[in-house]
A and B are shown apart, each in its own frame.
Chain A
């Protein structure tokens, strides 16, 4: 099957479209908030052929779709996923440690866990939940360091078709004088959930015991796992809509403490809660610490939080020359080195929640990182009402592509061509990787979950600029041990995942 090629060729990006429109509520008007929030993407190599495949989540009306990567940014239909419902987010990882990547899809309703049947098909199992939850983003992490991937699921709010007021019913159901779907304000809060894996893909709800469920005044959308305080244990940041965002710090005893406010990532620098939608993490200023970037609603600045390295953050949006564009509602996002110059660039997709607003479809934004300051760069010009975004080098040519899930339109892939050298590192989820080349150290983490209800390719991509040699590749494994790995050259993939021959501890 060939992709439908759009007649849009840009210097940096070429946009093409996947063949299927994935439904997500009304196109002219939306009666319920449930129609506005979907949906995400998960990039993962389900058949272990070395090419990242892509899964797009659909809203009610049609099943979600997995496309198998044939190479050269050509895709074919992959295994079918028959469930139809209000799909929201997706994340992927090897849940049962069988060497094949499994998939989690969140819904308004019980999440589906799809166990990968050796790259040929998927077996669905529902994750039991009390009541009908509005599950939003998911993320995988080994929070207890027992060697398997546990599951965090954000919960947006309490939604019920029977009790949610119709558009225009109360002051929370208007936008600039227009009656629109109600919420999130005015709708009840919900709590986030954590499920512990027994190593065989069987999950136990530990939300209360782990204290994940304690915060109860947040409209949670997208989680991202990062080691915020540099202690070697995975922490969880959650972008929240219209309420303070959350930072769950791992206390290394099976519990978390929520410290977003004190750590400086809950609010903007004026102490206001913004409408957080998407989130990404990366070392944008190359100081060795992982920073956090969050997309927000229109008329609000995006928010860049610089990690000070001591477990605290400070907002650096203005200092990094971001936040001047406030017209768009931001969703999926990534800090990615799309020009391979060694600095993490930035991309975000946009789209209004209300078709009635007259600005439903909005352009994407791209920024080139110039020594820690961002400058607007070319982005695909076609406006969409986009939601999920994920990044991968789909054709393994050393340049990163972007896939985007839109509302009421076929998903897009933005092909990119970058000069500059690069290194791709395949490491387990939760690993932190440091690459030094040309005397400059770059750092990244392998994450399952982020962007907006989505997951990027877990293979880490490092732009190296003109460097022709990798001086050092250091991996901190999920259990905290650190290894250095020899690298023969640049413009290649280094697989350090599943490397039982490598003894743990110390350099070699």
Chain B
């Protein structure tokens, strides 16, 4: 780790700030402590890796990571060094959780308690995501919100974690079953790796099968069958005043005409018409092979035969103009008068 970090620092020095990115990063890391000198103490503690004790002063590119398993932070190079060969226990004294490298992520908040609370809230909000419109009364909704908050604080403060986790899992599964009835129902198993601060041991994915028996015997993980029974007992996702979920109606096939159709008034289309001048086209294989359908021709010909038969231009056009302008008849005289005054009204001219 130190070699790598040293190499990086050396790179920056050798460049002499040639690359703009590394230069700006360098400036950023230099300026940060100097700008807030009053918080220098807090900064120095937050800028020193608790594992390898290397500080940001020596290694400006240092980045801290944490694992949501135990929320202990350490620098990137420590993570590389300790966990690159597989899962290992947390190097912080007193914490014996087994961590894996993939779970490490960057720190968003300086205060790790906040970081953890945000994670928990995220998880709860994913399950308890009802809205006011889903409830019959505001009162029921408020009750529901209180339940959600209670669950959240139980998890944050570590009160009754086991039961709360099981409840959450139950709700999640019941909602999943409701939204997607075809999904295969998983057996309810509180996976301890997702719980953040349970006091029981860690079950690894690799050795999960071997250790499951041990874990369940220790009483930390509830028996799957027992939890299933409980699910039925608790009737899953039940809140007072919650409206029943109505799945949205299946989408109709796309209609390019937006529901409009042509209903001819004056003719009824027949299946086939037999006229001498059509036989040539009908029997021509080159027309049939191309997918030409005589019905298209029939419907179009008949539609054009009667389209506009009841449209009387000498009545409809003046009526339309009356509507639009309010000026009834523009006689020849008025038009002539208008034309002499106006320059180019009706004559569009490109030149």
A-B complex is real: no
